[in-house]
Amino acid sequence: MKRKTDKKTLSFAGIDPVRLLGVKDRNLRLVEDHFGTDITVRGDEIILIGSARKIAELSAVWGTLITIAGNGRAVTEGDVVAVMRGESDQPERISALDKTVVYYSSYRRKSVVPRSLKQKEYVDAIADNDVIFAIGPAGTGKTFLAIAMALAALKKGEIDKIFVSRPVVEAGENLGFLPGDIQEKIDPYIRPIFDALSYLVGKERVQRMIDSGVLEIAPLAYMRGRTLDNSFAVLDEAQNSTVMQMKMFLTRLGVNAKAIVTGDITQIDLADPGKSGLLTVNEILQGVEGIKFIHFGEEDVVRHRLVRRIIRAFSNLSYRNSRPSSAPPGEANENNNDAAVPAGTEIKDE
């Protein structure tokens, strides 16, 4: 017996097709891939064909996306994913993301704004809590947003100093045997952080901030014995910290200090992944007042949609935590670099 098919036409008259469907119809393709169906667009109409149930689901998704685009926002792939997950029954929540300015970069004359509801939740968590853990894959904007929030706090005079750190996990070579002085030895590990800061404020200003002591970028081990008052501390690649290093970092916080810890527990480079400090705190600090955990998933990746598929494919490998250790320094964490490329946020022209 032939299954009955229905047909429904939705109009987006008055809306720029690119604003709704995406560049080269990327948003359209994303919906088609998710629902496993072809969708026809003719002029300013979207034609849906399928079962009554499929038509109802597609109508709900496209109705929301049309409303978002109609409110003036260019629909992003992150918006599409959020709508398809059913997280956004109120289009106004997504449309309002453009109005949430995390940091205004006078260097680029643009504003950093969250691109997804999960990023908005993350930004709000940083504003409302003193210790924030952001756990999830590369491409979700964890580190870049943390740095943007730190710069915003410094700009407002809420803090006096920014401290950004990463664990140094040696990959195939001992630091002591690498050429150059100590700065040259650790530069590959902290370079992505420097690049992200430079993107927002320019290399010259970053260097001036470092020279004046307002900004410090250093390996995690350099924090031992420190007390951070009136500071914003960001620990990146925290999955590669040991339990004792994580404890040391968290106990450095002084008066009027805030800590953001970011990492991906599927990208642990330690010889024994089970000793990751990020894994431990994820278990023992849940529910502690003043501490907030934000968990990003592959669906929160806001880079090219293929990045989500790549992450999913690698996450299915049983040996994902036993990667080869033959890569030269600076390449060990290349695939988990949220900081250097600000793909996890949207930069809005003023």
Q: What is the pLDDT of residue 349?
A: 52
With 50 as the cut, is the pLDDT of residue 102 above it?
yes
H or E element at residue 128: helix 117-128
Q: How far apart are CA 142 and CA 115, in angstroms?
A: 12
Question: Could you read off the pLDDT of 159-180 as tens digits, one per residue?
Answer: 999 999 999 875 444 455 455 5
CATH class of 100-349: alpha beta
The pairing of beta strand 110-114 with beta strand 131-135: unpaired
Q: What is the pLDDT of residue 180?
A: 59
Q: What is the pLDDT of residue 219?
A: 87
As a whole number, mean pLDDT of residues 49-73 equals 93
> Is pLDDT larger for residue 186 or for residue 177?
186
Q: What is the pLDDT of residue 89?
A: 59
Question: Could you read off the pLDDT of 193-232 as tens digits, one per residue?
Answer: 888 999 999 999 999 999 999 999 988 988 888 899 999 9
> Is pLDDT larger for residue 314 or for residue 171?
314
Q: What are the φ/ψ torsions at residue 293 (nearest 5 degrees)?
A: -105, 130
With 90 as the cut, is the pLDDT of residue 87 above it?
no
Q: What is the pLDDT of residue 246?
A: 97
The pairing of beta strand 345-349 with beta strand 110-114: antiparallel
With 50 as the cut, is the pLDDT of residue 333 above it?
no
Q: How far apart are CA 49 and CA 71, in angstroms?
A: 27
With cut-offs at 50, 70 and 90, classify the pLDDT of residue 2. low
Q: What is the pLDDT of residue 241?
A: 95
Q: Fold for 6-96, please state it.
A: Ribosomal Protein S8; Chain: A, domain 1 (3.30.1370)
Type of residue numbered 90: Q
Q: Pick from 343, 131, 323: which is nearest to 234 by CA?
A: 131
**Is the Cβ–Cβ distance between 146 and 134 less than 8 Å?**
yes
Q: What is the pLDDT of residue 332?
A: 41
As a whole number, mean pLDDT of residues 137-155 equals 94
With 90 as the cut, is the pLDDT of residue 258 above it?
yes
Q: Give the contacts of 93 (CB within 8 A, at least 6 positions apart).
A: 117
Q: What are the extents of the domains in the chain?
A: 6-96, 100-349
Q: What is the pLDDT of residue 304?
A: 59
Q: What is the pTM of this model?
A: 0.79
Burial of 75 from C-beta contacts in 10 A (0-12 / 13-18 / 19+): buried
Question: Could you read off the pLDDT of 7-34 as tens digits, one per residue?
Answer: 999 999 999 999 999 999 999 999 999 8
> Is pLDDT larger for residue 143 or for residue 338?
143
| 61 CB neighbour count, 10 Å cutoff | 19
As a whole number, mean pLDDT of residues 316-326 equals 50
Give me the percent of the chain exceeding a pLDDT of 70. Answer: 79
Q: What is the pLDDT of residue 305?
A: 59
Q: How far apart are CA 241 and CA 273, in angstroms?
A: 10
Q: What is the pLDDT of residue 240?
A: 94
Query: What Cα–Cα distance (Å) separates residue 31 from each residue in 25, 38, 40, 219?
Result: 10, 9, 12, 43
**Is the Cβ–Cβ distance between 68 and 75 less than 8 Å?**
yes
Mean of the per-residue pLDDT values of the chain: 84
Question: Could you read off the pLDDT of 107-128 as tens digits, one per residue?
Answer: 999 999 998 889 999 999 999 9
As a whole number, mean pLDDT of residues 332-345 equals 49
As a whole number, mean pLDDT of residues 330-335 equals 43
Beta strands in the chain, from DSSP E residues, in sequence order: 6-11, 40-42, 45-50, 103-105, 110-114, 131-135, 161-166, 215-219, 231-235, 258-263, 291-295, 345-349
Q: Pick from 122, 123, 159: which is nearest to 233 by CA?
A: 159
Label each residue of 130-165 as H, E or C.
CEEEEECCCCCCHHHHHHHHHHHHHHCCCCCEEEEE
Q: What is the pLDDT of residue 273?
A: 92
With cut-offs at 50, 70 and 90, classify the pLDDT of residue 342. very low
